[in-house]
Amino acid sequence: MVGSELARRHASLVLDAGAVALTSSGCRRIATPAFPVTTRHSRNARALLRCKALLVLQGGVYTRSVAMQLRCLNWAGHWIDASSELRHRHNAAILVDPINDRSIMDAHCRGVLSYAGGNCTVSLLLLAIGGLVCYGLTSCMFATTMQAASGAGAPCLATLAMEMRAAAALPLHAMVCGGASGSRCTVACSVTPWVDIESRAPGVSREEQKGATEAAKILGRESSVRLSSLCTRVGVVRCHSQSLFVALRRKATLGGLADAIQSHSRWVLLVRNSRQPTMAALTPAAASGSRAVVVGRLRAHGVRQATLFTVGDQLLWGAVTPVARMLLRTLRTHYRNAGQG
What residue ranges do the domains of the chain occupy? 2-119+319-340, 122-314
The CA-based diameter of the chain, rounded to the nearest angstrom, is: 73
- 148-182 residue pLDDT tens: 999 999 899 999 999 999 888 888 877 777 654 44
**CATH level 3 topology of 122-314:** Dihydrodipicolinate Reductase; domain 2 (3.30.360)
We find that the CATH architecture of domain 2-119+319-340 is 3-Layer(aba) Sandwich (3.40)
Q: Where are the alpha helices (DSSP H) in the chain?
A: 2-9, 60-62, 68-72, 97-109, 120-128, 130-134, 154-168, 172-178, 206-219, 254-264, 275-281, 284-287, 321-340
pLDDT of residue 181: 46
The yes-or-no answer on residue 120 being catalytic is yes
CA angle 197, 226, 204 (to 5 degrees): 20
Find the catalytic residue in 10, 240, 264, 334.
Answer: 240
Closest to 317 (Cα-Cα) out of 96, 1, 88: 96
The yes-or-no answer on residue 240 being catalytic is yes
Find the catalytic residue in 10, 27, 78, 120.
Answer: 120
pLDDT of residue 290: 96
pLDDT of residue 23: 53
* String of DSSP letters for 22-70: EETTEEEE-B-S-----GGGTT-GGGGTT-SEEEE-S-HHHIIIIIHHH
Element (H, E) at 293: strand 293-300
pTM over 0.75: yes
Cβ–Cβ under 8 Å, residues 52 and 334: yes
Cβ–Cβ under 8 Å, residues 143 and 242: yes
* Residues of the chain falling short of pLDDT 50: 11-18, 26-27, 29-40, 180-183
**CB within 8 A of 180, min separation 6: which ones?**
163, 164, 166, 167, 170, 188, 189
Provide the 8-state DSSP code for 317: I
Cβ–Cβ under 8 Å, residues 295 and 261: yes
Closest to 331 (Cα-Cα) out of 32, 1, 83: 32
Cβ–Cβ under 8 Å, residues 21 and 57: yes
pLDDT of residue 53: 86
pLDDT of residue 33: 36
What are the contacts of 102-106 at 24+ separation with CB within 8 A? 103/218, 103/220, 104/326, 104/329
